[in-house]
Amino acid sequence: MPNAKKRIGVLTGGGDCPGLNAAIRAVAKTAILKHDMDVIGIKDGYEGLIENKSMPLSYEDVSGILAEGGTFLGASNKANPFNYSMGGKKPRDLSTLLLRNIRAMKLDGLVCVGGDGTLTVAHKLYKKGVKLVGVPKTIDNDLRATDLTIGFDSAVITATEAIDKLHTTAQSHHRVMVIELMGRYAGWLTLYAGVAGGGDVIIIPEMPYDIKKVCKVLIERNKKGKRFSIVVISEGARPKGGRMVVKRIVKDSAEPIRLGGIGNKIANDIEKNTGLAARVTILGHLQRGGAPSPFDRMLATRLGSFACDLVAKRDFGKMAALRGRDIKAVDLKDAVKSIRRVDPEHPIIKSAIAVGTSFGI
């Protein structure tokens, strides 16, 4: 009697970003073409494993999705199986139910595509016996053990294009334009987009700013005849001796703190201290949307294919990671033990300072 086909599951968790469909495609096509596996798509991240929402994926199902943004499987950043609310009831640990459902699906391995929250849960599930591997995605680029994450490059392009557009209106009206970007506690997105977009002041969480020094830069630019300025600020930034601006708290989320509003605060402070007109653009979820960049399509393809190979080799508890030019397997525990933040001595910061960019310090 021939052996039954192996079955691999794939899910996308946390916030969406460009490149997720490319990763799903890579896992599924590699499983089907290279390893002769059946593929099960888990809907809405870990919620699908708790509430039994899944679908078989054929080669045709994942054809033509490489360039599509988002994730056709859906995602959820509230579906933490260790603190899950079902039907509006009080949150509780449903990880044992999730394990039973995985066994019922007869999965030989699971690929979890996600950021810090999703992969932290994945590591906890691995320790409870779930055979899984991770694939890193997040526009924040804050996962350790990988040089870049899926979605980051696309978000940098979107943010840079927005900064480029703000340049023209800032110049026309002689204003200070403040643009607030995502990134939570890490400043990678703001740093890359700010440098690429020619931001005059770049403010990131890792380098608390001095409002007096920010204002001094803007006043000096104005005196030199530069009648507009661009300030690029991360949502997780804070003034020296101050705190981050919290927009709201979402109690049933894996990441309950919702940041937002620092752009308005610094614009008000700039107007009060300089007399210059300041306007704010909060880019928000635009940074997560749209088609993935060519780089993200390639990265997602490489990471997804490699993750499938790890499942086929039964090399679980690992994450597929970009290290230099190579894709390598790293331990999940190393990827999620803490977030990767920008070193204030980073070469990009040094180059930005050398060309006249201020970091408000």
Catalytic, 140? Answer yes
- Burial call 120-149: b when 16+ CB within 10 Å, e when fewer: bbbbbbbeeebbbbbbbbbbbbbbbbbebb
Summarised one tens digit per residue, pLDDT across range 313-348 is 999 999 999 999 999 999 999 999 999 999 999 999
Is residue 255's pLDDT more than 80?
Answer: no
Fold designation for 156-288: Rossmann fold (3.40.50)
Confidence of residue 1 (pLDDT cuts 50, 70, 90): very low
- Domain 7-150+292-336: give its CATH architecture: 3-Layer(aba) Sandwich (3.40)
Summarised one tens digit per residue, pLDDT across range 41-95 is 999 999 999 999 999 999 999 999 999 999 999 998 888 999 998 777 888 999 9
Is residue 231's pLDDT more than 60?
Answer: yes
Tell me how far apart the alpha carbons of residues 118 and 12 are, in angstroms, rounded to a whole number. Answer: 8
Domains 7-150+292-336 and 156-288 share a fold: yes
Tell me how far apart the alpha carbons of residues 333 and 338 are, in angstroms, rounded to a whole number. Answer: 9
Query: What pTM does this model have?
Result: 0.94
Residue in 44, 140, 153, 200 annotated catalytic: 140
Domain definitions of the chain by residue range: 7-150+292-336, 156-288
8 A C-beta contact, residue 309 and residue 30? yes
